[in-house]
Amino acid sequence: MSGLQIDKLSMRFDLPNGSSVQALENVSIDLKAGELLSVLGPSGCGKTTLLNIVAGFLAPTSGEINLNGNLVQGPGAERGMVFQQGALFEWMSVRENVGFGPRMKGMAEKPKREIVDHLLDVVGLQEFKEKAVYELSGGMQQRVALARCLANEPDVILMDEPLGALDALTREKMQGLVLKLWKETGKTIILITHSVEEALLLGERLIVMAPRPGRIHKEYNLPFAEMGVGQDLREVKKHPQFSEVREEILGMIWDMEEEIMGGTNK
Amino acid sequence: MSLLAELWSELYDVLGTLVGAAPYVAGYIALILLCGFIYSSIRKFLTPKADYGSLKTVTFGDESSVSSNTVASVVSVVLIFVLWAAFTGSKLLPSFMHMPGAFEGESSFTYTVEANGQTDDATVAVTVFPTGSEVDAPAIEPGDGFALNDAIALPIFRTELLRVDKNDTLGRDEGAQIVEVDGKPILPGGEVSVDFGKVAMTPKGTLNIKPSTGWQMEPIWLPAPESVWSRLKEIRYDGYRNSTLAEHLGFSLFRVVIGFILGAMIGIPLGYAMGLSNWFRGWFDPIVEFMRPVPPLALIPLVIIWAGIGEVGKIILLFLAALWIMAIAARSGVSGVRISKVHAAYSLGASKWQVMRHVIIPNSLPEIFTGARVAMGVCWGTVVAAELVAAEKGAGMMIMVASKFQSTDIVLMGIILIGIIGFAIDMLMRWAERLLVPWKGKG
């Protein structure tokens, strides 16, 4: 059985003051190998918790996750993660950062160098490979993070708002890069984002989550990711269906946010 | 209440000293401003700087436009030496730049005695000789009348009581009284200015010869720069208290280095354990948090009681001084690691040991280096203080013994050397930090 099965996942945090927060309730997602799923939702809907459970950093209160038929217990190299920012190792050069995974596996120097060189070509950082990562711009650092994740040949790539801290122009370029990498490598990707546009552009499937308790609110199957491969993303945004879905989702999230605000005011 | 009154009177003394020093501080500030004014007016005639900063219109309040002015630094250091030399009459300065010195040489004054309605004058020859030489009062003619001439010799910076009437035919015991000095009337408890300084009269009628001390400092308070320098050369070759200068400084440094290395060897693993395990954190938190605020100097008496004044005691003291600082630095280095870095390493397939080796240790190095810099500074201060208390060799011992023999030049030389070495240690640590942890502050 291939793909990623998230089965009836629930997560409850018990707070020190005796109360508890239901971060996730009965979340089930069935992801086929090679699918790109984007997850949207207002803050506090449990997106990051979901990703942390899939990555194995958190154990769910109930439910389970299977990857290619194996139960997920704890972090592992088959599930790579790209963080928002600041997860690169600043004591290593760009090349060493990208080669970190293979090095942990004990790979020999030569094949490791080939993998690193190839990935630095893919993300366009060949000439920066000896630089320290803190000398790079934010966009370049995220390219390094992508390459570092890919170097490990994971089955699933988990992205936790990887483009969230970038400026608008860099972000658009990086969205194109993510799409290109997805198509070229055929990896299964879960992408968490705050941006509705980004979720629409990149997600083959899209899940909108609702808060309190965190649950799946609505699911979409979208054509834009396929359209966007090898095409200008701004053209995709002009598509009439694009703005229609965008408005629908924005309205949905607005309503949820308003509900949260109303709830706290009362 | 008596404690409060005592503290208040102490505070009053301190404030009095501050008020007394205020004019000098004001004078120094005026000198700084004057030099700054001269510098900026000279600079107007030179080519103006054409960098980005020179185009800024707002500079007051812009932190980035304030940088250390090299000229000011040089002038300030040179000025310290010039003032030092001027107030000590140093040969390094031309004599017109010296402050007025103490009177030295021969002079005289006359005094007038009144007895039974008669008056008579006599002369006192005064010889003021430099410290170190021994000069006898010159032989003089006794002169005529009932008041006879006197002579006195005394070293500079000193005063001496002189019973001028002792040799007179009509003295104090016969009802004679000194009424004038150099033709100026004087009363018991009064004072009269003369050529070479002042002559005062005690309430009993004895004259107090007070040659002018000038503005210069006595060498016992502040020796001239060149005498400090010649003392340095002398001790460098001949040593002091059975050890050469290199031995004194070498022993101090040796203690610091060994104590620091031992402290780091125990402290860093301790800090890691505290940063990585609840049990160790709980176990050592009370100990570390209690020992950290105890100044190492306060441990000196205990260490001397337990381990004596030899090397072992000093190294234990420095070990303790470095231990807590290094443990806390390592602990905060470990706790400061971003969880996303640790997560990233695990999801790239690293084992616990690999996370430790490749993430936690390198991430904590900048903090450890900061701690090491602090620890080296504290150790250097502590070793000098410990040697002041008791030691057979060492920089602190050298200046303490020298102060007991009033060899102020050795004391000054020692202080300057201790300062230079402390500064060099800090520079060395900073250099090592730049070289070994270039990613510091870049996370």
User: For residue range B259-308, what is the model confidence (pLDDT) as tens digits?
Assistant: 999 999 999 999 999 999 999 999 999 999 999 899 999 999 999 899 98
Q: How far apart are CA B341 and CA B348, in angstroms?
A: 10
* Contact assessment for residue A239 and residue A224, using Cβ atoms and an 8 Å cutoff: yes
The residues near B180 (Cβ < 8 Å, ≥ 6 apart) are B111, B112, B186
Contact at CB, A89 and B338, closer than 8 angstroms: no
- Inter-residue long-range contacts of A164-169, CB under 8 Å, 24+ positions, other chains counted: A164/A84, A164/A85, A164/A193, A164/A194, A164/A195, A165/A84, A165/A85, A165/A138, A166/A138, A166/A139, A166/A142, A167/A138
Best residue in A85, A104, A116, A153 for a mutation probing chain B (most B CBs within 10 Å): A104
Each residue of B220-252: pLDDT tens digit? 899 999 999 999 999 888 888 888 899 999 999
With CA atoms as reference, the chain A residue closest to B341 would be: A87
ipTM of the complex: 0.91
Kindly indicate the confidence band of residue A170, based on its pLDDT and cuts at 50, 70 and 90: confident
For the residues A151-176, what does the mean pLDDT come to? 89
Cα(B198)–Cα(B193) distance, integer angstroms: 4
| Shortest Cα–Cα distance, B336 to chain A (Å) | 13
Pairwise CA distance, residues B281 & B277, whole Å: 6
The pLDDT of residue B326: 96
In this predicted structure, the answer to whether residue B424 has a pLDDT above a threshold of 90 is yes
Nearest by Cα to B307 from B386, B227, B410, B202: B386
**Residue B152: CB partners within 8 Å, gap ≥ 6?**
B124, B125, B126, B127, B137, B160, B162, B209
- Neighboring chain A residues of B345 at a CB cutoff of 8 Å: 89, 100, 104
Q: Best interface-test mutation with A: which of B348, B352, B439 has the largest number of A CBs within 10 A? A: B348
Per-residue pLDDT reduced to its tens digit, B168-226: 887 777 878 888 888 889 888 889 999 888 999 998 888 899 999 888 888 889 999 99
Q: Which DSSP category does B97 fall into?
A: G
pLDDT of residue B239: 86
Average pLDDT for B103-111: 89
Contact A81 B358 (CB under 8 A): no
B359 vs A contacts (CB less than 8 Å) = 89
3-state secondary structure of B290: helix
Concatenating the DSSP letter of every residue in A172-188 gives HHHHHHHHHHHHHH--E
Q: Which two tokens stand for residue B301?
A: 């008496």
- Residue A34: the pLDDT is 87
User: A149–B338: do the CB atoms touch at under 8 Å?
Assistant: no
Structure tokens at B302: 């205990």
Residue type, B73: S
Asked whether the CA dihedral B221, B223, B224, B228 is positive or negative, the reply is negative
Strands (E), B38-149: 105-115, 118-129
Chain mean pLDDT for chain B: 90
Using CB atoms within 10 A of its CB, is residue B272 exposed (0-12), middle (13-18) or buried (19+)? Answer: buried
Name the token pair of B409: 């030049």
Q: What is the pLDDT of residues A139-159, one digit of tens each?
A: 899 999 999 999 988 999 999
How do residues B141-155 score in pLDDT, each as one tens digit? 888 888 888 888 988
What pLDDT does B49 receive?
67
Q: Which residues in chain A touch residue B338, judged by CB atoms under 8 angstroms apart?
A: 86-87
Is residue A264's pLDDT more than 60? no
The number of C-beta contacts closer than 8 angstroms across A and B is 74
Q: Which of B347, B362, B437 is closest, CB to CB, to A75?
A: B347
pLDDT (tens digit, 9 = 90+) per residue, A42-83?
A: 887 888 889 999 999 999 999 989 898 888 888 988 899 999
- Give how far B360 is from chain A: nearest CA, Å: 10
Residue B63 pLDDT exceeds 90? no
Residue A99 has what DSSP assignment? T
Is A132–B343 a contact, with Cβ atoms under 8 angstroms apart? no
Decide: B338 and B381 in contact? Cβ < 8 Å: no
pLDDT confidence band for A2 (50 / 70 / 90): confident
In this predicted structure, the answer to whether residue A12 has a pLDDT above a threshold of 50 is yes
Residues in chain B with CB shorter than 8 Å from the CB of A77 are 347-349
Between the alpha carbon of residue A184 and those of residues A3, A152, A171, A178, B436, the distances in Å are 18, 16, 20, 10, 40
Tell if the CB–CB gap between A90 and B442 is shorter than 8 Å: yes
For an interface test with B, give the residue of A91, A100, A149 to mutate (most B CBs within 10 A): A91
Q: Distance of alpha carbon A134 from its chain centroid, rounded?
A: 23
The predicted-structure confidence for A89-105, as pLDDT tens digits, reads as follows 999 999 999 999 999 99
**How close, in Å, is residue B351 to chain A by CA atoms?**
8
Count CB neighbours of A263 within 10 A. Answer: 10
Shortest alpha-carbon distance between residue A252 and chain B (Å): 31
Neighbours of B228 (CB within 10 A): 22
Q: Identify all chain B residues contacting A107, using CB atoms and an 8 Å cutoff.
A: none
Closest residue in A to B364 (Cα) is A91
Beta strands in A17-57 (DSSP E): 20-31, 36-40
Highest mean pLDDT of the ranges A212-221, A238-247, A251-260, B367-376? B367-376
Q: Can you read off the two tokens belonging to residue A107?
A: 């790979």
B354: which chain A residues are within 8 Å (Cβ-Cβ)?
104
Q: Give the residue numbers in B contacting A (CB under 8 Å), as ranges.
A: 338, 340-341, 343-351, 354, 358-359, 362-363, 365, 437-439, 442-443
For A143-152, A171-180, A254-263, B285-294, which range has the lowest pLDDT when averaged over its residues?
A254-263
Please name the residue of chain B whose CA is at the shortest distance from the CA of residue A149: B348
Distance CA A254, CA B3 (A): 69
Contact A87 B363 (CB under 8 A): no
**Shortest Cα–Cα distance, A235 to chain B (Å):** 35
Whether A77 sits inside 8 A of B348 (CB atoms) is yes
Residues of A in contact with B363 (CB under 8 A): 91
- Contact check, Cβ <8 Å, B349/A105: yes
User: CA of B367: how far to CAs of B277, B356, B372, in Å?
Assistant: 19, 16, 9
Place of tokens 């501080």: B25
* pLDDT value for B58: 82
Closest Cβ opposite residue A57 in set B343, B350, B437: B343
pLDDT of residue B267: 96
Q: Quick one: pLDDT band at residue A263, thresholds 50, 70, 90?
A: low
pTM of the model: 0.84
Interface of A with B (CB under 8 A): 55-57, 75-77, 79-81, 83-84, 86-91, 100-101, 104-105, 132, 134, 148-149, 152, 158
Confidence band, pLDDT 50/70/90 cuts, at residue A265:
very low
> Measuring CA to CA, which residue among B280, B340, B291 is closest to residue B319?
B291
Picking from B341, B342, B343, B347 by the largest number of A CB atoms within 10 A of its own CB, the best residue to mutate is B347
pLDDT tens digits, one per residue of B318-364: 999 999 999 999 999 999 999 999 999 999 999 999 999 999 999 99
Chain-chain contact of A81 with B351 (C-beta, under 8 angstroms) = no
pLDDT digits (tens, 9 = 90+) for B35-49: 999 998 888 887 766
Chain B residues touching residue A132 (CB < 8 angstroms): 438-439, 442
Q: Select the residue of B347, B351, B442 nearest A80 (Cβ to Cβ).
A: B347
How much is the pLDDT for B350?
A: 92
Q: Cα distance from A260 to chain B (closest Cα, Å)?
A: 29
User: B437: which chain A residues are within 8 Å (Cβ-Cβ)?
Assistant: 91
Beta bridge partners of A9: A27
| Torsion sign, CA atoms A160, A162, A167, A169 | negative
With an 8 Å Cβ cutoff, are A56 and B347 in contact? yes
Q: Is A186 left (phi over 0), alpha (psi -120 to 50) or beta?
A: left
Beta bridge mates, A7? A64
**A84 to chain B: which residues are within 8 Å by CB?**
340
Instruction: With beta carbons under 8 A apart, name residues in chain A contacting B333.
Output: none
The DSSP letter of residue B357 is I
- The Cα–Cα gap between B6 and B25 comes to 28
**Tokens read off for B97:** 């730049």
Strands A4-14 and A70-71: unpaired
Check: CB of residue B172 under 8 Å from CB of residue B115: no
Please state, rounded to an integer, the average pLDDT across all residues of chain A.
87
Q: Do A75 and B365 touch (CB under 8 A)?
A: no
Q: Which residue does chain B place closest to A141, by CA atoms?
A: B443
Q: Find residue A10's DSSP bridge partners.
A: A62
Alpha-helix runs per DSSP H in B239-294: 245-276, 278-291
Check residue A1 and give its pLDDT. Answer: 56
Residues of chain B above pLDDT 70, percent = 99
Contacts 24+ apart (CB under 8 A), A175-182: A175/A201, A175/A202, A175/A233, A176/A228, A176/A233, A177/A123, A177/A143, A177/A146, A178/A146, A178/A202, A179/A225, A179/A228, A179/A229, A179/A233, A180/A229, A180/A230, A181/A122, A181/A146, A181/A150, A182/A36, A182/A225
Paired tokens of B94: 């031309």
Selecting from A88, A91, A105 the residue whose C-beta is nearest the C-beta of B362 gives: A91
Six-digit token pair at B259?
Answer: 């104590």
